Amino acid sequence: MKHLLLALFTLISLTSLGQDKIKKKINYVRSFREESDSLIVELGNNPQLCFLRRKNNPNFPKYLALLKQYKHKGYFQSGKLLEIGVEEETNNIKFFRVLSKPEEEKHEYLQPHYGVVVSAVVSDKEMDSLYDEALELFHKKQYEDAIVTINKVIVINTQNPDYHKFKAYCLSYLKQYKQSTDEIKFALEMDGANSELYEIMANNFYFLKDNENAIKCYEQAIEYERENLPRVYHNYIRCLIEIPSPQRAIEVYKLYQYRTDHETGYSGDTERFSGDLVFYAGQAYEQIKDWKTAFDIYDRLIVISPDVYGYYAQRGRLYQQKGDFSEAISDFETALKLDTAQSILLTNLAQIYQQLHDYKKAESAYKEYLSKNPDDAIEIGNYGYLLLGKEEYNDAQMMFEKSIYIDNKNIDTHIGRILAAYFLGDTENKNRFIAKAKLQFPEITIDTTTLKTLIKTGNYYYPQRLILVWENAIF
């Protein structure tokens, strides 16, 4: 009996551990929408979508009534702060709780800004004329002259955030990101609910490679974004892809879909940003290995815009990653026809043909690429590996030497040079190259396991034959 109770207790404990953890959040509900099986709830701070399920939820009517109680007209349907219990894995809402008065005061900083009070200084003809002149200079890309002109306007009325926003744009175009951010911070003191201000500051941090602050500003930009313009979502998702933070990128993409699902069309730059936004979302799904969704996105983009190089190129890379080489080749060839300047795809084709042991086509692709990019050390080295596969060892060694001369910091190239010397029976040079590699890369152990590590992390494609030979070459 004692053992039975222990087993039951263990089972209950394991079941509890398997349940999603509930995270308590203090937040406001920016919007909510009733669906047949749930209530979609958009949280305001660090915007995300959560779900109040209707099925088997006796508290659904009570929580729905609570949200409706605090709903008001305007863009933010409610600024009322609530404690919200959310399952971390599913984003299902388990409970709402109204805060006490002291709790509200403690977390007042989490409430959204609602508006802007612009300076009471009345616009005059001189100021309007100067502002128009600054705009004209901006459109002519004469940013320094535009700043000189807008400064005259700011002297007359320094309390208008739009003037500081304009100056911040000019400074950003001049790559003076710190000064641009200073202008934005001052403008935000007057207009703390302006999404565009947060977006400019986020872009500044992005270009300064300060991803932490860029993310904070992008979060505030999408919190206050009202017009459903895809540009800010596009830029944020691009930043998240590069970090990478694919899960948050997908959340932002779904948030954009939620906010725009009633809209039917775009035009001009908006259409371009919208397509690119979805394109970046596809890359986010790639990063979490959800290839089906990624393919669905790329397939749809190609149907809608069959003349865009990037869509075919990225789908081709995904096919290559999956090992569907015929589909990858087709997409790469289509992409290269759409934009002949994008020669990098020739290296993808070369790698595929190399894996298919079609050395003639692989060599042709490398030669065409290197004729346009003669100083690409990595691809020169990759061509060297192809020549090793063709047993043209002298030519391979020449390629490795050329690659190292351009850039001697690629361990893979040093490995190739060692292998070429081994195949040539040149023991003296082989040992000299091993010693140089050990000196150049003291943090890497040059032994029989080196190639097995590099095959996962390096820049080159290692045929199985080279991996087997390496164990003999290293001695």
For residue 272, pLDDT over 70 is answered with no
Q: Which residues contact 165 (CB under 8 A, 6 or more apart)?
A: 183, 184, 187, 194, 196, 197, 200
The answer to the question of residue 196 being in a domain is yes
Q: Which residues contact 412 (CB under 8 A, 6 or more apart)?
A: 378, 381, 454, 458, 459, 460
In a domain, 119, yes or no: no
Hey, what are 358's tokens? 């079609």
Residues 79 and 147 in one domain: no
Q: How far is residue 49's CA from residue 390's CA, in Å, rounded to a whole number?
A: 55
64: in domain: yes
Asked whether residue 102 falls in the same domain as residue 37, the answer is yes
> For residue range 123-164, what is the model confidence (pLDDT) as tens digits?
578 888 999 999 999 999 999 999 999 999 999 999 999 999
Amino acid at 95: F
Binning pLDDT at 50, 70 and 90, where does residue 450 land? confident
CATH number of the structural domain spanning residue 421:
1.25.40
CA distance 69 to 58: 19
**How many CA atoms are closer than 13 Å to the CA of 248, on its beta-carbon side?**
18
pLDDT over 60 at 225, yes or no: yes
Mean pLDDT along residues 237-248: 94
State which amino acid sits at residue 160: N
Amino acid of residue 106: K
Tell me, yes or no, whether 12 lies in a domain.
no
Predicted pLDDT of residue 375: 95
Confidence check: pLDDT of 455 > 80: no
- The answer to whether residue 41 sits within a structural domain is yes
Does the pLDDT at position 456 exceed 60? no
Distance between CA 433 and CA 344 in Å, rounded? 30
* Same domain? 439 vs 399: yes
Task: Tell whether 1 is covered by a domain.
Answer: no
Tell me whether residue 158 is in a domain.
yes
Looking at the fold, whether 88 and 27 belong to one and the same domain comes out as yes
CA atoms of 385 and 11, how far apart (whole Å):
55
d(CA 453, CA 465): 16
Could you tell me if residue 91 is left (phi over 0), alpha (psi between -120 and 50 degrees) or otherwise beta? left
Give pLDDT, residue 8: 37
Amino acid 71: pLDDT: 80
| Higher per-residue confidence, 281 vs 122 | 281
CATH number at residue 198: 1.25.40.10
Residue 86 DSSP one-character state: E
Here the CATH number for the domain that contains residue 31 is 2.40.50.340
Residue 367, pLDDT above cutoff 60: yes
- pLDDT at residue 253, as a whole number: 93
Q: pLDDT averaged over the chain? A: 87
Q: Which residue has the higher pLDDT, 187 or 265?
A: 187
Q: How far apart are CA 80 and CA 180, in angstroms?
A: 33
Q: Are residues 101 and 23 in the same domain?
A: yes
Based on the fold, state whether residues 90 and 170 are members of the same structural domain: no
Residue 202 has pLDDT above 70, yes or no: yes
Closest CA to 278 of 255, 262, 301: 301
In this predicted structure, the answer to whether residue 114 has a pLDDT above a threshold of 90 is no
Tokens of residue 201, six digits: 């500051």
Domain finish residue from 210, 241, 264 = 210
- Domain enclosing residue 181, as ranges: 125-210
State the burial class of residue 285 (Cβ atoms within 10 Å of its Cβ: 0-12, 13-18, 19+).
buried
Residues 391-442 pLDDT 10s: 999 999 999 999 999 999 888 899 899 999 999 999 999 999 999 988 988 8
Asked if the model's pLDDT at residue 116 lies above 60, the reply is no
Q: Do 103 and 134 belong to one domain?
A: no
Radius of gyration over every alpha carbon of the chain, rounded to an integer in angstroms: 29
Predicted confidence (pLDDT) at residue 102 exceeds the cutoff of 60: yes
Residues 401 and 446 occupy one common structural domain: yes
Q: Domain check: are 129 and 45 in the same one? A: no
Q: What are phi and psi of 22, to 5 degrees?
A: -100, 125
Question: What is the tally of structural domains in the chain?
Answer: 3
DSSP tag of 460 = S
Phi first, then psi: give them for residue 236, nearest 5 degrees. Answer: -70, -45
86: β partners: 23, 93
Is residue 188 a contact partner of residue 221, using CB atoms and an 8 Å limit?
no
Q: Is residue 252 part of a domain?
A: no
**Which of 110, 136, 161 is where one domain is finished?**
110
Q: How many CB atoms lie within 10 A of CB 3?
A: 7
pLDDT of residue 462: 63
Strands 38-43 and 81-87: unpaired
Of 184, 210, 236, the domain-final residue: 210
What is the widest separation between alpha-carbon atoms in the chain? 93
